[in-house]
Amino acid sequence: MDTHILDKSHLIDNSFLNTFTKEDGTDIFTIYVNRPFDVETLYSLHNISTYTVMADGAANRYYDKFQSRFIR
């Protein structure tokens, strides 16, 4: 029996968000799709985004992560 174990790892570098400044007159669009996302990255993107679009189930995922902020 031939068994192979596939091990993948990904490095996501969002350090540009730490020092990013948006120039006046610049619009930033953020599009979320139905994929897992890091909460801290999401907050950072919301802070710099002019417009946010959630597609393909991303709104449900967003709501599930942050529903405590919506329901009081």
Domain map (residue ranges) of the chain: 28-70
Does the pTM surpass 0.75? The reply is no
Residue 68: per-residue pLDDT: 67
Residue 70: per-residue pLDDT: 56
CB 56 within 8 A of CB 33: yes
Residue 51: per-residue pLDDT: 92
Burial label for 3, CB within 10 Å (0-12, 13-18, 19+), is: exposed
The pLDDT tens digits along the chain (72 residues) read 566 777 777 777 878 878 888 889 999 998 988 888 777 788 788 788 999 898 878 888 888 877 766 555
Question: Both tokens of residue 28?
Answer: 């930033």
| Cα 54 to the center of its chain, rounded Å | 10
